[in-house]
Amino acid sequence: MEKRKDNFFNKIYDVVKQIPEGYVATYGQVAQMVGTRDARKIGWALHGNKNLNVPCHRVVNKEGKVALNFAFDGWEEQRKRLMDERVHFIDEMHVNLERHLWER
């Protein structure tokens, strides 16, 4: 069972690695791309990720909100990383999805 979970998580990480700098995807988009309807699984995988080469900061919820419990030091760090990539926010915690949503 653990190997199946690892394979599924690796599929998620492979999709997230495709999100270009300056763009974000939603948990739901990533879920659809890996063949599940459960966006929570995407959050679990990203929260457990320790590989700095997977740009987890580029995944937000369907409203564009950053994750309160972002795995690498909380939502402020996720916001900082996105802002470093010139991603614009409409308020403190919400990405401007009209401008930065990744359309694959």
**Which residues carry out catalysis?**
56
Contacts of 48 (CB under 8 A, 6+ apart): 9, 71
Tokens of 27: 């948990």
Cα–Cα distance between 26 and 29 in angstroms, integer?
5
